[in-house]
Amino acid sequence: MDWGSGIVRLVGAAAAAGVLTAAIALPAVGGAGAMFVNTAEELNLKAMTLKEPPLAEKTTLLDAKGDEIGQFYEEYREVVTLDEISEVMKTAIIAIEDFRFYEHGAIDIEGTLRALAKNLTSGGIAQGGSSITQQYVKQVLLNSAVTDEEKAKALEASYARKLNELRYAMGVEEKYTKDEILEKYLNIAYFGASANGVEAAAKRFFGVSAKDLDLVQAATLAGAVQDPNRTDPNLGRQQRTRLLERRNVVLNRMHELGKITDEELEKAKAKKLGYKGTPLPGGCGASPYPYYCMYVRAEILNNPVFGKTKKERTQLLNRGGLTIKTTLDPKMQRAAERAIKKWVHASDNPVASEALVEPGTGEIKAMAASRTYGRSKKRNEMSYNVVADAAHGGGVGFQAGSTFKTFTLLAGLKEGMKVNDGFSVGAGYRASGYSTFKNCKGENIGDPSHTVTNDEGSGGFKTLQTGTWGSVNTFFMKLEEEVGLCDTIKTAKSLGIKRSDGLPLQEYSTFTLGINEMDPVTVANAYAAIGARGKYCEPMVVTEITDRDGKVKKYEPKCKQVMDPEVADAAANILEGVFTKGTMRGVGGIGRPAAGKTGTTDAQATAWFAGFTPDLAGAVSIGDPRGSQKYKLNNVTIGGRYYGSVFGASIPGPIWRDTMLAALKGTKATDFHPLDTARFGGCGSSCAPVQRDREEPNELRDIDSDNDVSIGTGQD
């Protein structure tokens, strides 16, 4: 059969009427080129419209200043315009794949026949048989496929698929100019080494942008598109050898077409492959702020505000080509990182972590930890987000210790207590009966058999002020008894308190002593609400998202007033004294109004400090991720310093202080609102005994600087 004249007649008929009535001669797919198909049936080769879903593009993460801090993608691709691609790259890809690209229509019969003859005589595939337009169509169909079955259909070796490609190619040629088709093809083509599109390939293969590709580099990439898996240089020496051979085939073809000189050919072929294997930029492991990056990723995937279903949100993040601006403040992030590094080494078994949150917005400004992110046990790395809860890539968290006493303090103030109201307490506290404490279900959970003690046995009459400054366990157990366990729990919940592992809060009588496992983000955000005068804001990391088309969507803080501002002011007034008269007096303040609370759990299993100014709040935790109850913070060396026991003021407090000094440097200090003395000043129904009035000033003698040890049930 005269298959050549058959194809010519096919083209003539198609060109004349758009409908084919001719003998078709095409090489059998998958064969040696010796088998042909002949049919006299009428085949409709009218142009068909190709559905072209947006290409999967990388999503870029920016800090609050607009600098890139991370990338997410399903396919590593950066879409560029044709003028952002070097001329030699365009020349190389056209030379090897479709040298008559600018001369033919959707179907290049002359090019197909020449390629077929060349391939048959060479015993392999030297030139592409499909036009660039047809290849673009094939890539679109493949990229549009979702299921394995759809992908197999897009690649099946059948004439039906080939004919559909031709129909779609005719539609593409009618819709776009040649330059537009070439641009689309170079952006969709896969080059190997996980690089999709010429820009990603240029960076991955050679560490340059597509506009800076030279002759050798362009010929290499042009050679890679034919069979990118077989010539993937990232897979090994054999694949690199094949790629080098393909590069030289491209160079020879460019020379044959007169695109390069003899000298350029020889000089280019003498060069080595030059593959650099630039690390893929995506994923939080490559981010300078991996823990923050993990939090953002989890927030996008889990929050319905970014899409109705998780599948939709995942596709948006990994394929949408978004630019996400976040709340991360690089100055504050550096402050947290440096402060942690000063006090805790990455090689230490205990890990310190810190979160900074802005009062009044809930914006997370920084997330830092003493260990680097990764999976290397040798380098003591950690692969989960120790700064956040499990929903944001974190773990089970650490018991928060006496930082929870603040919620009982708030409950007391809400119920009308004044700053000098208090109780006489002893060195130990024991519930008088099972009904002394009731959880929020109304169940009796008091434990008359268990005694809560203070670290050094201090007792006497304690007020809301002195009991807080000294972090006296027995005082807070009595205070929780008076205000009610459920009211304390409800107060904590109103400030966003929830367990790090996502399980319900443990509602035991020792709730006030911090038996629940927490994460720094949650604790910092709760304290930020006090700094914002009782306005709670949901933790926030995304401020705006720009889609691939440049459309910008802004996100505002989600806040609500959860307590009277005067109640929050009174709590801040009391917590300020922690720095001057309480457990942090040995550490000192930060030269501006600040309030906070230390926290240490039973037998120094974990230690915390949470504090705030009107401008910034932060929480620091330290514990051993191998198991805080088994590996307590006693007789340990951390940051090169030996500690007999680690308390909230030993390491977390100094980290918080150093962080705040640097993070707020240059920021004008804001004062707390003054105490409403008419409402909270002095004492009311729980004043000190008359005989104690004259001794009141000496009350501070028995405040224990490290008296914030929680003892109770339900600990980890």
- Encode pLDDT of 588-636 as tens digits: 999 999 999 999 998 899 999 999 999 999 999 999 999 999 999 999 9
Q: What is the pLDDT of residue 19?
A: 37
Q: What is the pLDDT of residue 50?
A: 92
Residue 115 three-state SS:
helix
How far is 548 from 623, CA to CA, in rounded Å?
43
Q: Which of 73-77, 259-263, 696-700 has the lowest mean pLDDT?
A: 696-700
Would you mind telling me the total number of residues written for the chain in this entry?
716
Q: Provide the pairing of β-strand 559-561 with 607-612.
A: unpaired
Q: Provide the pairing of β-strand 323-326 with 59-62.
A: parallel
Per the structure block, which two tokens stand in for 136? 């673009």
Give the model's confidence band at 34: pLDDT under 50 very low, under 70 low, under 90 confident, else very high. Answer: very low
Give the model's confidence band at 288: pLDDT under 50 very low, under 70 low, under 90 confident, else very high. Answer: very high
- Crossing angle of helices 330-343/652-663, nearest 10°? 150
How far is 584 from 590, CA to CA, in rounded Å?
11
Q: What is the pLDDT of residue 144?
A: 81
Residue 485 three-state SS:
helix
Q: What is the pLDDT of residue 253?
A: 97
Mean pLDDT of 687-700: 56
Secondary structure (DSSP) of 427-471? SEE--SSGGG-B-TT--B---TT--EE-SS---EEEEHHHHHHTT
Contacts by 179-185 with C-beta closer than 8 Å and gap 24+? 179/82, 180/82, 181/132, 181/133, 181/136, 182/82, 182/90, 182/93, 182/94, 182/101, 182/132, 183/81, 183/82, 183/85, 184/136, 185/93, 185/132, 185/133, 185/135, 185/136, 185/139
Which part of the chain has CATH 3.40.710.10?
398-540+559-702
Q: What is the pLDDT of residue 538?
A: 98
Single-letter amino acid code for the residue at 706: D
Q: Which residues contact 679 (CB under 8 A, 6 or more apart)?
A: 418, 566, 570
CATH code of domain 77-269: 1.10.3810.10
Higher local confidence (pLDDT), 201 or 120: 201
Q: Which residues contact 394 (CB under 8 A, 6 or more apart)?
A: 384, 385, 386, 387, 388, 500, 519
Give the model's confidence band at 69: pLDDT under 50 very low, under 70 low, under 90 confident, else very high. Answer: very high
Give the model's confidence band at 286: pLDDT under 50 very low, under 70 low, under 90 confident, else very high. Answer: confident
Mean pLDDT of 562-569: 98
The sign of the torsion formed by the CA atoms of 480, 484, 489, 490 equals: negative
CA angle 360, 499, 317 (to 5 degrees): 70
Q: Which of 185-194, 497-506, 560-569, 704-713 has the lowest mean pLDDT?
A: 704-713
Q: Residue holding tokens 């991360």?
A: 328
Q: What is the pLDDT of residue 43?
A: 54
Q: What is the pLDDT of residue 111?
A: 52
Mean pLDDT of 471-482: 96
Higher local confidence (pLDDT), 34 or 662: 662
How far is 447 from 711, CA to CA, in rounded Å?
13
Mean pLDDT of 660-667: 97
CA angle 234, 237, 239 (to 5 degrees): 65
How far is 406 from 389, CA to CA, in rounded Å?
21
Per the structure block, which two tokens stand in for 49? 């419209």
Per the structure block, which two tokens stand in for 473? 């366990």
Please determine, for residue 519, whether its predicted confidence score (pLDDT) is greater than 80. Answer: yes
**Closest alpha carbon to 657 in 335, 437, 408:** 335
Q: Provide the pairing of β-strand 535-537 with 559-561.
A: antiparallel
Which part of the chain has CATH 1.10.3810.10?
77-269
Please determine, for residue 25, whether its predicted confidence score (pLDDT) is greater than 80. Answer: no
Give the model's confidence band at 694: pLDDT under 50 very low, under 70 low, under 90 confident, else very high. Answer: very low
**Closest alpha carbon to 663 in 258, 263, 339, 301:** 339
Mean pLDDT of 549-575: 97
Q: What is the pLDDT of residue 45?
A: 72
Percent of the chain with pLDDT over 70: 86
Mean pLDDT of 334-342: 98
> What is the average pLDDT score of the chain?
87
Q: What is the pLDDT of residue 44?
A: 61
Q: What is the pLDDT of residue 11?
A: 40
DSSP state of 472: -
Give the model's confidence band at 18: pLDDT under 50 very low, under 70 low, under 90 confident, else very high. Answer: very low
Q: Residue holding tokens 């027995």?
A: 474
How far is 671 from 369, CA to CA, in rounded Å?
30
Q: What is the pLDDT of residue 150?
A: 74
Q: pTM, whole model, 2 decimals?
A: 0.80
Q: What is the pLDDT of residue 504?
A: 96
Most confident of 52-56, 589-593, 706-710: 589-593
* Phi-psi sector, 577: left (phi>0), alpha (psi -120 to 50), beta: alpha
Please determine, for residue 8, whether its predicted confidence score (pLDDT) is greater than 50. Answer: no
- Select 398-540+559-702's CATH number: 3.40.710.10, 3.20.20.80, 3.40.630.10, 3.40.640.10: 3.40.710.10
Q: What is the pLDDT of residue 456?
A: 54
Give the model's confidence band at 156: pLDDT under 50 very low, under 70 low, under 90 confident, else very high. Answer: confident
Q: What is the pLDDT of residue 127?
A: 45
Higher local confidence (pLDDT), 710 or 170: 170
Q: What is the pLDDT of residue 171?
A: 93
Mean pLDDT of 289-311: 93
Please determine, for residue 165, whether its predicted confidence score (pLDDT) is greater than 70. Answer: yes
How far is 169 from 137, CA to CA, in rounded Å?
6
Give the model's confidence band at 7: pLDDT under 50 very low, under 70 low, under 90 confident, else very high. Answer: very low
CA atoms within 13 A on the CB side of 399: 31
The 10s digit of each residue's pLDDT in 203-234 is 999 999 999 999 999 999 999 999 999 999 99
Give the model's confidence band at 35: pLDDT under 50 very low, under 70 low, under 90 confident, else very high. Answer: very low
Q: What is the pLDDT of residue 104?
A: 86
The 10s digit of each residue's pLDDT in 79-123 is 999 999 999 999 999 999 999 999 987 666 555 555 445 544 554
Q: What is the pLDDT of residue 510?
A: 96
**Closest alpha carbon to 593 in 575, 609, 570:** 575
Please determine, for residue 152, whether its predicted confidence score (pLDDT) is greater than 80. Answer: no
Give the model's confidence band at 705: pLDDT under 50 very low, under 70 low, under 90 confident, else very high. Answer: very low
